[in-house]
Structure 1
Amino acid sequence: MAAQLYETTSGRLFHAGAVAVITVGLPARGKTHASRSLCRYMRWLGVSTKVFSVGNYRRERLGSLSEEWFDPNNTKATTARIKVADECLDDLIHWLQTGGGQVAIFDGNNVTEVRRKHIHDKLLNNDIHPLFLEFICNKPDIILANIRSVKISSPDYVGWDPEEAVRDYKRRIKQHEENYETITDTTLPFVKNMNAGEQFIVNNVMGYLQSRIVYYLMNLHIHPRTVYFARCGNSLNDNSYKADANLSPEGEIYAEKLTEFMLAYHKEKYSKVPAEEKRPLTVWTSTQKKALETAIPFVNAGVPVRQQSVLNQLNPGESDGLTQEELEAKYPEEVAKLRENPYRHRYPRAESYHDLAVRLESVIMELEREKNDVLIIAHETVLRCLYAYLFDRPAKEIPFISIPRSFMIEITPSAYGCKESRLQLP
């Protein structure tokens, strides 16, 4: 299941109550990336979710702090930072109790047993189920890559020289190391993520919702990669799903132009990148003729192409091939229901956008696992759902997201969300 299956009056799903996910670990271990990505996925499931970032609270209340503020021997600074973290925790609890939330993610370091015990007891006293996520990394190359790609662009280092920002952040990590205590209490529910996904240790995790959280995290990684979206070309019978028509002459020209543009763009993008950092391109497409034939020029160019039936367009059922006037004449009640709820409505023997979102779960998980660049060639209905997932858009907006055929969309996932560029096709 990769979309909300049902709705409840309380807004909470799976009879799971309120859950607080608490991150644990030294800086630059992937906590923020996992927090933001998990929040996006939970919302995709229909679970009311929010990230409470201790770092953001600190910046809002104390501003960007100098190195000595992170010295564990600086009692005044430590007291101030703990006070801010407690404010963040109190807001988290308030949101879960009165704000309609179900999953709250407490994004902070939380490196001592005493601190974790305080958080654990306070959550239980407020009838909130805690789940600790510890991020452990002992590989310097992974840590340095994370510092360079994420941390030096954070609000703490606006206007800094990149190399000086790296040195400062390394000093901050060193300061946290003095107090760091890994989780050893096996009575706690926790997940340990070792070296950015190389190994997972899962302890005392119970319930469907918490199991979904673990499942998602086991598919997540922090390696950089780019996802591209492109529409398939026009077919000889674009109005019919059942006809599964071949590409039209115009569609064949589009396929050639798309391939030329994509390969030239990808080559130029990596022209000045060291060989070990270059990522190969893979094309994913559906089993429908117009999508597969749009990808054939990539096959001829030696690019791997994978067909997946789950990427087939939304099935319109008995509305297939009908004009708007014909639909209103034949199915006036269905048209009214569609206008009322475009995301969940389905015509007779058809799929809804909700059905399509559920069907796309395997693709979503593959996207999270994928470490190379991917171009997805598919129908607009499919790309709308995937776009909504990546950009954390509400389900009700999915039917109205525009994916023009004249553009290729370049999406770059990062710790603080995805970035988008729309590239004009020739």
Structure 2
Amino acid sequence: MKSQLMASAATTPSSPTISVNAPTISQQQQQQQQQQQQQQQQDNNQQEDHEREHHDSLLPAPAVAFSHALRSLNDLDGGVGGIGFTGQHNPIAYNSPYSQSIPSTAPGSPRIPPIRQNSGCVTPRIRPHATTLNIPGMTRSRVSPDGRIPERDVAAKLVIIMVGLPARGKSYITKKIQRYLSWQQHNTKIFNVGNRRRIAAGVTHKGDQPAPTSADDHDGHDPHDAPKRAATILLKGKDAPKITLEEDEPTTLDLNEHQDGSVPKDPIDQSAKFFDPKNETAAKLREQVAIDTLDELLNYLLHQGGSVGILDATNSNVHRRKLIVEHIQQREPKLGILFIESICHDQNLLEANMRLKLAGPDYKDKDPHKSLADFRERVKAYESAYEPLGKWEEDNDLQYIQMIDVGRKVIHHRLRGFLTAGIASYLTTFNLAPRQIWITRHGQSQDNQLHKLGGDSGLTERGHYYAQALYNFITFKRKEWLIEQKNKIASSTFPPAPGDHTPPYPELYQELDDKNFCVWTSMLKRSIESAEYFDADDDYDVKQWEMLNELNAGTFEGLTYEEIAQRYPEEYQKRSKDKLHYIYPGVGGEGYLQVISRLRDMVREIERITDHVLIIGHRSVCRVLMAYFMDLTRESIADLDVPLGMLYAIEPKPYGIEFHAYKYDEVEGWFQELPNYRPQRTTDRNN
């Protein structure tokens, strides 16, 4: 049987049959597999197109079988080191696909814009925004592109409430604060309760000319006429500035009206009896006037773009201050509140303040002796119910500053904001010493001749002549001023008689002979050379300040305005439209707001020193300093006309400043005073 099977197998042609049929079956299977793969690929493509069309979400990465992935790795590199397939670590080849970034074939995810409202949280933001410092020209944000306090940041705004007995210098302090903050480009305004009280009582009428209470509010008058309107109220026989309300203030209050709506013909008595705490009718009037004035202040802060409002009144007891705080918190609880109290223990200082009061609106054109007696009775009436800042404010965690004898001693409590801290620092610089502040530009420089911006060229021959004339004139005026002050003291009387020219603080004039004279220049050649004659005289103290340097023109340094207009017409137009906020392009480029910021410490130093000072600066620096001392509007700063050859003299006074202007006469080599001179806008828009 076995042999038969072997013979059959040897003679049966089975192998050739299999070799013919096998390739046919294999080809059919491959074709079927290819068709299935093509169909699957088409289905996948259709599915992907459908998903891209109807879905806007990121697709997951395509799935890959783990075994297939391992097999691919072994095929490419002969195994993966560290996994155990070959037992050896094989570094990836330079041309390996793992050394290259393989672009994804998945569709791109849609761009989702950021959500600012609540950072992606479900619950909307309920905490207040941060109230960090805002400095125009030095800070910028989405809500405050110009650096001012934005309307949204109510907590950064400030209500300043003055506290103090009459003749303690409250109005002097408020005007200084308003001028300083406005110069720093913070919208600031004073709201004087006494002005409203006089109108409510029928003493002052709305038709009288008002005194401006903010740098941007001059009621139609020339904004550069601040010195003239700050009339010499100290001198008897001259008109004091007339005071009234703003255009939107009522001329009368319903408290003064009869039941039928008529107004009494006779005004309410404004003598010391009106301020007696026992006078209930007068107390009710004063309280209503205070709240009405406060409402006007709050409207300014909350609806009219104001940043700081100053309530100028006595606010002499806790009851009144509590009423004010509660009213503010009812209107807007997030508003900042700062009390500033002025206290005077120095009898000489009190006498000087009374001298100023006797020339004020309550006693104008009245007998000085009777006025003095009445005013002292008024002060006694307030003193009987006066309560200084202290326990109540501290128990309620309120910010306050106490100034004693006009800055001789300063007490702070809980100062938390940038504005309050800056105000406190500024108040410590106050002094009432008589002195002169002189401001001028350097002599003509070589770049001035070529009309070039910036640079560091020296003086021309004409510039050196100016430097010598400046030294001679200042030396002469220094001696003349000393003689005048001594003559005024020799003829002083109290109470002041008509025509009395007594200085407001006679005790401060006792050291006139020991007063130094400082000369400050920038670090640029043209300014330094303009002080060369002062530097050679040991009686002058000369110092160079980098912060007094001219505004840096950046890329445009050394060019003329005509060249800028030709090469950079867009930049030229931008500057022409808004010189105050414009910043020169390029490294170190500045604008006027940057100059204001770097001169902040300079202004505080000028306020602090008791000596005379001459500042030999540049156009932008002189403009900014003049704007501060003369309380000019922000629109006037960048266009103020300060040509070469002009010399300005400023004497700080309790009621404002005394201002004089002199023009250089090249022929005479001397300076001539320009009577009734008022700063004005330049006619050349390039400068």
User: TM-score, structure 2 length as denominator?
Assistant: 0.58
Query: For residue 642 of structure 2, what is the amino acid of its counterpart?
Result: I
Q: Separation in 2 of the partners of 1:299 and 1:358?
A: 28
Q: Separation in 2 of the partners of 1:104 and 1:4?
A: 22
- 1:265 equivalent among 460, 468, 477: 477
**Residue aligning to 1:367:** 606
**Residue aligning to 2:568:** 331
Q: Separation in 2 of the partners of 1:246 and 1:144?
A: 51
**Residue aligning to 2:465:** 253
The alignment status of 1:137 with 2:344, answered yes or no, reads yes
Number of equivalenced pairs: 425
- 1:227 equivalent among 415, 429, 437: 437
**Residue aligning to 1:402:** 641
Bigger shift: 201-210 or 46-55? 201-210
Query: For residue 178 of structure 2, what is the amino acid of its counterpart?
Result: C
- 2:165 equivalent among 26, 32, 43: 26
For residue 414 of structure 1, report the CA deviation from its aligned partner.
3.5
Query: For residue 573 of structure 2, what is the amino acid of its counterpart?
Result: A
Spell out the pairing of 1:65-104 with structure 2 (5 A cutoff): 65-104=270-309
Q: What is the CA RMSD across the aligned residues, in angstroms?
A: 2.5
**Residue aligning to 1:5:** 138
Q: Separation in 2 of the partners of 1:288 and 1:220?
A: 30
Q: Separation in 2 of the partners of 1:9 and 1:345?
A: 16
SS of the residue corresponding to residue 183 of structure 1 reads coil
Query: For residue 400 of structure 1, what is the amino acid of its counterpart?
Result: D
Query: For residue 75 of structure 1, what is the amino acid of its counterpart?
Result: E
SS of the residue corresponding to residue 480 of structure 2 reads helix
Q: Separation in 1 of the partners of 2:649 and 2:367?
A: 28
Query: For residue 641 of structure 2, what is the amino acid of its counterpart?
Result: S
Alignment check: 8 A CA contact 1:409 1:423 kept:
yes
**Residue aligning to 2:406:** 196
The alignment status of 1:309 with 2:549, answered yes or no, reads no
Alignment check: 8 A CA contact 2:184 2:597 kept:
no
Cα deviation digits, residues 158-212 of structure 1 (max 9, x gap): 2245565545433332322111111122132211112211222211222223222
Alignment check: 8 A CA contact 1:285 1:291 kept:
yes
Alignment check: 8 A CA contact 1:21 1:105 kept:
yes
The alignment status of 1:207 with 2:417, answered yes or no, reads yes
Which structure's residues are more often helix, by fraction? 1
Alignment check: 8 A CA contact 1:4 1:46 kept:
no
Cα deviation digits, residues 18-55 of structure 1 (max 9, x gap): 32110111122221111111112222233221110112
1:198/1:352 CA distance change after superposition, 3 Å: same
SS of the residue corresponding to residue 153 of structure 1 reads coil
- 1:392 equivalent among 631, 644, 650: 631
Q: Separation in 2 of the partners of 1:46 and 1:272?
A: 37
1:5/1:419 CA distance change after superposition, 3 Å: farther
Q: Is the radius of gyration larger for structure 1 or structure 2?
A: 2
Query: For residue 134 of structure 1, what is the amino acid of its counterpart?
Result: E
SS of the residue corresponding to residue 363 of structure 1 reads helix
Query: For residue 276 of structure 1, what is the amino acid of its counterpart?
Result: Q
1:224/1:41 CA distance change after superposition, 3 Å: same
The alignment status of 1:172 with 2:384, answered yes or no, reads no
Bigger shift: 166-175 or 326-335? 166-175
For residue 70 of structure 1, report the CA deviation from its aligned partner.
2.6
**Residue aligning to 2:184:** 45
Query: For residue 45 of structure 1, what is the amino acid of its counterpart?
Result: Q
Which structure has the higher relative contact order (CA within 8 Å, separation 6+)?
1
Q: Separation in 2 of the partners of 1:243 and 1:276?
A: 45
**Residue aligning to 2:121:** none
| Gap runs ≥5 in structure 2 | 1-133, 205-269, 487-508, 665-669, 671-687
The alignment status of 1:321 with 2:533, answered yes or no, reads no
1:17/1:125 CA distance change after superposition, 3 Å: farther
Which structure's residues are more often strand, by fraction? 1
**Residue aligning to 2:358:** 152
Cα deviation digits, residues 359-383 of structure 1 (max 9, x gap): 1111111122122222211112100
Alignment check: 8 A CA contact 2:429 2:608 kept:
yes
Q: Separation in 2 of the partners of 1:198 and 1:409?
A: 30
Cα deviation digits, residues 370-421 of structure 1 (max 9, x gap): 2222221111210001111223333332221011333321223334444432
Bigger shift: 177-186 or 232-241? 232-241
Cα deviation digits, residues 222-267 of structure 1 (max 9, x gap): 4443322111111233345665222222111111111221221222
SS of the residue corresponding to residue 156 of structure 1 reads coil
Bigger shift: 10-19 or 66-75? 10-19
SS of the residue corresponding to residue 155 of structure 1 reads coil
Bigger shift: 135-144 or 59-68? 59-68
The alignment status of 1:116 with 2:321, answered yes or no, reads yes
Alignment check: 8 A CA contact 1:26 1:173 kept:
yes
Q: Separation in 1 of the partners of 2:373 and 2:522?
A: 47
For residue 82 of structure 1, report the CA deviation from its aligned partner.
2.5
For residue 215 of structure 1, report the CA deviation from its aligned partner.
2.3
Bigger shift: 295-304 or 310-319? 295-304
Alignment check: 8 A CA contact 1:232 1:294 kept:
yes
Alignment check: 8 A CA contact 1:52 1:106 kept:
yes
Alignment check: 8 A CA contact 1:2 1:44 kept:
no
1:107/1:225 CA distance change after superposition, 3 Å: farther
Q: Separation in 1 of the partners of 2:420 and 2:183?
A: 15
SS of the residue corresponding to residue 35 of structure 1 reads helix
SS of the residue corresponding to residue 653 of structure 2 reads coil
Query: For residue 408 of structure 1, what is the amino acid of its counterpart?
Result: L
**Residue aligning to 1:286:** 522
Bigger shift: 19-28 or 210-219? 210-219
The alignment status of 1:236 with 2:446, answered yes or no, reads yes
Q: Percent identity?
A: 32
Alignment check: 8 A CA contact 1:21 1:104 kept:
yes
Q: Separation in 2 of the partners of 1:24 and 1:289?
A: 49
SS of the residue corresponding to residue 593 of structure 2 reads helix
1:328/1:234 CA distance change after superposition, 3 Å: same
1:115/1:263 CA distance change after superposition, 3 Å: same
